Each structure stands twice: as C-alpha cells, then as structure tokens.
A and B are shown apart, each in its own frame.
Chain A
Amino acid sequence: MKLYIRATGNISPQKTFGHPGLLAEIVEHSGNRLYCVEPDYKAFIDVKQIRRMSRIIKMGVAAAMECLQEAGVEVPDAIVTGTAYGCLEDTGIFLSKMVEQQEELLAPTAFIQSTHNTVGAQIALMLHCNGYNNVFVHRGFSFESALLDAMLLLKEGEAANVLVGGLDETTDTSHAILSRFGLYKKEPVSNLNLLAQSTKGTIAGEGAAFFLLASQPTANDFAVLEALTTFYKPANIQETEQHIASFLSGQSIVSSEIDLLITGRNGDMEEDKVYSKLEQSVFDKVPTVNYKPLCGEYPTSSAFALWLASNIIQSGSLPPSLEHTGNVPGKIKRILIYNHFQNTHHSLLLISAC
C-alpha cells in the first residue's frame, strides 16, 4: 500500500514558509545557533488566541495550517505530532516562576501551555477536530514515531488522511544547558561552512514541519512515502551497514537505485565519522546532500529532511543553491534519508515519485 504526501508546511531557519521557491537562496546564520525565519503569525492565527501561544506553538500551528491549506483539507482525520523538547519556553517560564515565587501564586497559562501535546491539541481546538490526536516524545525518534503511527493509521484504514508533524525549539536556557554538555561548537562558525570544520560539536537548530499523508492519491501529491525504519545504538559500523542493507532489500532495491541520499551530517567530527564510513561502503557512489547546514541539529530534524526530500521529488531536481556530491540524475525519483541523532537514534526514510 502506498502512502501519499499530499502537502507540506515548514517553518525553519531557511525561507521555507509559504513555498517561496525551493531554497531559492540559502540563509546564512553566524554563531552556533540557528533561528527560524518566522512569518507574521497574525495573518494565520486569531490575535485572541495568539496571545497565549509561545513561539513553538505559533510555529507548529502556522506550519500545520499552511499544510492543510495546500492540501485543501479543512479537518484531517487524525493529528499526530512528534517533539522531543516540547514547549520549552513555557516550561522555562513556569519553572522559573516556581522558584522565584517559592511555589506560590503561579499563573496558569505557562503551565497549561508547557506540555508536549500543546501544539497538537491547539491545532485540534482551532479546527474543531475531534479525531485521533497523539504526540510522541521519544528523543531522536520523536518524529519517526509520529510518522510510523500515521502510517499505521492509514494502512489499517483508521484514517484516510493524517496531519503529522515534527517540531522542536531552542531557547536561551536550553541552548546554554546543551552548550555545557558540549553539543555545540565553541569557535565562530557559519552554517554555510559547517561541514568544512573538523572540530567537536555542531550547531543548534529548530523547526516545525508538517505533512498531510493520505492513503489515496490525487493529482497534486508531492511524493510517496515508501518505508521507514529506526534502529537504536548500533554496536559498530557493521551493524549500521546491516540495518541499511536489510532496509533496502526489504524494499527490493539496492543502493545504486537511489537517486539521492540526504544525510544528517552535522559537522561534529565524531558523529560524522558514521556518514564518512558509510559513504565508502553502502553509499559508495550515491549522490549526497547534507541537510543540517540548513536547519541545524535538533531531535526532530528528520522532519526537515522529509520536507526537503518531498519538495525535491516534486520538482524533480535539486535547487541550484544546494551543495551536493556525486552525479545527480536529470530526474530525481527516489530519495533515501539517513539520519542519526548523537549516534544513538538512527533512522531511514525512503521517498519516491508518485
């Protein structure tokens, strides 16, 4: 059974919202943190509702609305979201107030809005959607888990279309804490030359990408979502290679039949060793694009990769602004996404033309 990506909506550190042309220009960010390019939300969300929404809620709701608008669907059968960090800004406000006010007289809004299911719930409230609504909080597998749930709903006939999204935000507090863990580069860096630096750490990213998945095709679908798999903490590169080979053979293809590989290479000298080794073995001679210089590193960044793959498949070719290695065919019909988050959460997604 084929699952169709009917529409997408994406707010990211690139100019992606409103489909202004696929990466017509790449936005450069200096420093080790990428910020989303955000629209004027008042054009999409009622001002009476916007006042309670933190940044990630606005990003999620606006990306979801764009996706539904493009799909021509007013109310989806189900809404499934994936987020590792949830609504961090409201969580930070709520926890800070608890300390400052010695656990007394706490204002309710930040607490109410701080839960991980806030975005999915807010979308449902705005649409009056009483259907299935779920959120997956599973670190580097959060978006993949949401996607898997959506695929199961469609395959089992529980829904004809599902709005599925992956989203995470970086806040000043989370950036400071994760910097202390050594996740981000200490030296000055630009996202445009991120992969040229052979040093420790990466750059922080964020984003909200939504997709309308459907079990039936239309004339305007972006792509077909063929398959998805995840594997956790492979013991060594051989085990990773085995997972990839098994995934491809399960789809009855070999790596030479992949038109384009999109990888999660993030500029961290340790984490990127995995990609370098695979490019000399299972992905040898496969044309490759690396997506994290565009959106930064965050646990649900594979949602950005899926958005990129869907849009490349729809247009059939790579935008000239996007750097790549290898010989890309004239018409791109099949894309494999391979990402790992901190070399623990590994995922593979196979996308093809309709």
Chain B
Amino acid sequence: MDKLIQDLKVQIIAQLNLQDVKPEDIGDDQPLFVEGLGLDSIDALELIVLLQQQYKIKLSNAEDGPKVFRSVRTIAEYIREHQPQNT
C-alpha cells in the first residue's frame, strides 16, 4: 500500500501539473479538494482519466467520486479493491 500511495502522489503531481509540490508535501490523508491541495472539478476529471490510464479502473458510480478522491489513501484503497487480478 505504501508503494502505491507513493506512486499515486508522483502521478497526481504529473497529471495535474502541480507547481512547486513534491510527493512528500502531500499527506496520505490530506484532503485533495477545496482545502488541502485545493483541487477542483477539472482536476476530478483528470484523476478519473489517471485511474483509467494507469490502473485500468473505471469509476463505476460518479456519486462515489467525493469519497474515492478524498485523499491519496482513499484513492489507493479504491484501486486495491477494484484493480483486476492480473495487473
């Protein structure tokens, strides 16, 4: 799980082109939206694309978004639960 969280932080920084932010600046449980990193709805779309591209996971229910994308840890947990066995 720790490695996945670390990988996610690197991928989020790259996908969202976060300026002057390093992986160690993002707390595992830090809120990603509004407070914390201050992400917005366009970033949510970018994160959905990231999940599909990197982990072949499609967010099946859009209403799950706020819960899944609450922090890096919740994204990692969602990936663990939904990642196909062979990837």
Contact = CB atoms under 8 A, between A and B. Distances in A.
Interface of A: 42, 47-48, 50-52, 105-109, 112
Given A107-B15, A108-B46, A109-B46, A47 B38 contact: no
Given A105-B49, A105-B53, A106-B49, A112 B42 contact: yes
B19 A51 contact: yes
B10 interface: no
A47 B18 CA distance: 8
B20 interface: yes
A245 B67 CA distance: 70
Contacts of B19: 42, 47, 50-51
Contacts of B42: 52, 108-109, 112
B52 A51 contact: no
Contacts of A108: 42, 45-46, 49
A343 to B, nearest CB: 41
A298 B53 CA distance: 38
Nearest to A107: B49
Contacts of A48: 38
B17 interface: yes
Nearest to B58: A105
Smallest CB-CB A-B distances: 3 pairs? A51-B17, A108-B45, A47-B19
27 contacts: A42-B19, A47-B19, A47-B20, A48-B38, A50-B19, A51-B16, A51-B17, A51-B18, A51-B19, A52-B17, A52-B42, A105-B49, A105-B52, A105-B53, A106-B49, A107-B15, A107-B45, A107-B46, A107-B49, A108-B42, A108-B45, A108-B46, A108-B49, A109-B17, A109-B42, A109-B46, A112-B42
Contacts of B18: 51
Task: Provide the main secondary structure of the chain B interface.
Answer: helix
A106 B46 CA distance: 9
Interface in B2-17: 15-17
A108 B16 CA distance: 11
Task: Provide the main secondary structure of the chain A interface.
Answer: helix
Contacts of A109: 17, 42, 46
A105 B50 CA distance: 9
Nearest to B17: A51
Given A50-B19, A51-B16, 7 more contacts: A42-B19, A51-B19, A107-B46, A107-B49, A108-B42, A108-B46, A108-B49
Nearest to A112: B42
B69 to A, nearest CB: 15
B32 to A, nearest CB: 13
Contacts of B49: 105-108
A50 B53 CA distance: 25
Contacts of B17: 51-52, 109
A112 B52 CA distance: 20
Contacts of B53: 105
A46 to B, nearest CB: 10
Contacts of B20: 47
Contacts of B16: 51
A146 B63 CA distance: 43
Interface in B25-49: 38, 42, 45-46, 49
Nearest to B40: A48
A296 B81 CA distance: 56
A108 B52 CA distance: 14
Contacts of A52: 17, 42
